[in-house]
Amino acid sequence: MKPKITLLPNIRLATKIGLASAAALSFSWPAAAQNKEKPNILWITSEDNSAIHMGCYGNEQATTPNIDELSEDGITYNNAFANAPVCAPARFTIISGMYASNTGTQHMRSNNKIPGNFRFFPEYLREAGYYTTNNSKEDYNLDRDQWNKNVGEAWNESSSSAHYKNRKEGQPFFAVFNTTLSHEHKIHYHLQQENFEHDPDNLDIAPYHPDVPEMRKNYAQYYDYISRMDQRVGELLDELEERGLAENTIVFYYGDHGGVLPRSKRFVFESGTRVPMIVRFPEKYEHLAPGEPGSRKNRLVSFVDLAPTVLSLAGVDIPENMQGHAFLGKEKTEDPEYVHFFRGRMDERYDMMRSVRTENYRYIRNYMPHRIYGQHLWYLWRSTATRVWQEAYRNGETNAVQSRFWQTKPTEELYNVNEDPHNVNNLADDPQYQDVLKRMRKETQRWVRENRGAGFMPEAMMKQLAGDKPIYEMTHSDDFPTESIISTAEMASRKDPADVPELIEKMSANHPAIRYWAATGCAVRGEEAREAAPQLKKMLEDEYGNNRIAAAEALCRMDLTEESLSLLVEEMNNDNEWVQLHALNVLESLDTETVEPVKQDIFNVATWKERSGYFRRAYKSLLKKLKPGWSDYVIW
């Protein structure tokens, strides 16, 4: 065991002079001082990198010496996770201590309201005397007026120049430094290079990726930028020590969600949600640490836990509305059995997944199994890796595992994460794992009901029903039919033809979200739901655009296209931008031959350049599908 050392005067100096000599630098702080003085807390966050790409997590091909050293001096969490596999919903979850799926902020770059009494957690630190700084990413995914108000109350500074050095003398600080050096845009095709620090030929490739030269180059490029990110982490740690503050500062390092190679970011697999997380305690605050320096913890932790954990370390009461649980400090809770995940709209593409993880297994519930994993997404397709993977699939050059990304999804997925860290061997139908499957299905069902179903309404409908009120208030009212909506969504997604009579009955339900899922269930089943066609045709006149579109999609999947196709084109011009986007998503999901009769009508949407960015992206992608030759234009 390493001898305990204080971080005086410099932890890096201590490693240079040797641990035995470093131990001599230690001194004891009185217990009273330990309990009264508030620790400084430094957060260093990096974007878009999974735990699997860190040396301290066992990747010998990674070059991350500064983070590896931090791991040697701190507590490394083996099972740390982003609750959402993309930045904006994940950041809302962090800053609020609440699941974005509970407040209606689960979609990427949404602008929905939350209750006025829900505050960002740094505000509580500020009230307790902390100087709070954010340098500098916000991306909090809610109504802009509330965003600005909460930012002003949470941070003393939130900008690219924000720094703890600007605090009053002796004032404790909570400071965030975010680096974008490993962000997704670093591997976009216009940044490709030929000379790499990491040899493309010597890197391990995930089994779901085709092993082709362009893919290897993107891997090497990504590893190179992770190394540069690691250098930035080292610079921030060095600055803390040079200012003589390391002895009083608890340091967190974590990644903001999974990596950027295709099938990681945006997907609730291990690659999209498992992140590196390390916490280093100076000797002064070792009484708050859960173990010795250099130790590792298997406790399941996730982003919803960060806000209560920081408040716990600072000795601040945790607000009742926070859903996370402190994993450090005086309010530390028992180790949980589960962590939970959610996925909604990613930029211009709708999909819906929920997931739960134990220490050994990951379960995924796909509520839109009739959609392929790899829906075309403008930003993701700027990566060479994505495009060469799709091309290999279209050319018949991918194996069964590599092809799965381009196909529709099973309703349920179950993975043994210890034996299958890449999540390629779905055990959901394996008789040996039925007890595990049932247990994790039941836990998912419990959790989504506890979160009251905000994510179980289509986006446009959710906003229409809430009006000027926060979505949270609507879904947490006594008359909101949480159980009926969620149970219908579960029925819709499980593909069983025997459910069709009940789905037909539910198409007459009072609440529009129930009708939506009933029609979607028919779309999932396609021809097997043909007996529902008369009721679906009636739904083409539903008052909610989402329901008209869901019914039209179901009819198209039964080859009953005469009325339904023209309705989908009509909804592209709906006054609601999210209804427009829903219609575009459906049109692109259909076979080209199915859409052929209305192709010219789609081309005639003259106002597309004036629409929202997501509409333009989805529209150009549809044109690419229907009009070969648009490829380069669509990518840009």
Active-site residue list: 87
CB 532 within 8 A of CB 507: yes
Cβ-count burial of 602 within 10 angstroms (0-12 exposed, 13-18 middle, 19+ buried)?
buried
In this structure, how many other beta carbons lie within 10 angstroms of the beta carbon of residue 527?
9
Task: Name residues whose C-beta falls within 8 Å of residue 520's C-beta, 6 or more positions apart in sequence.
Answer: 368, 489, 492, 550, 553, 554
Cβ-count burial of 128 within 10 angstroms (0-12 exposed, 13-18 middle, 19+ buried)?
middle
Number of Cα atoms under 13 Å in the Cβ half of residue 518:
25
Q: What is the 3-state secondary structure (H, E, C) of 561-579?
A: CHHHHHHHHHHCCCCCHHH
Q: What pairs with residue 372 in β-bridges?
A: 408
Cβ-count burial of 413 within 10 angstroms (0-12 exposed, 13-18 middle, 19+ buried)?
buried
CB 18 within 8 A of CB 36: no
* Total H helices, total E strands in the chain: 27, 13
Three-point CA angle 256, 78, 331, nearest 5°: 80
- For residue 469, give the 3-state DSSP assignment: coil
CB 261 within 8 A of CB 206: yes
Cβ-count burial of 3 within 10 angstroms (0-12 exposed, 13-18 middle, 19+ buried)?
exposed
Task: Name residues whose C-beta falls within 8 Å of residue 373's C-beta, 6 or more positions apart in sequence.
Answer: 263, 267, 404, 405, 406, 407, 409
* Biggest alpha carbon–alpha carbon distance for the chain: 83
- Residue 135 host element (H or E): strand 131-135
Calculate the alpha carbon distances from 570 to 541, 583, 604 in Å.
12, 9, 12
- For residues 284 and 313, what is the distance between their CA atoms, to the nearest angstrom? 13
| Residue showing tokens 């960015």 | 613
- For residues 368 and 204, what is the distance between their CA atoms, to the nearest angstrom? 32
- For residues 158 and 152, what is the distance between their CA atoms, to the nearest angstrom? 8
| Residue showing tokens 């010998």 | 60
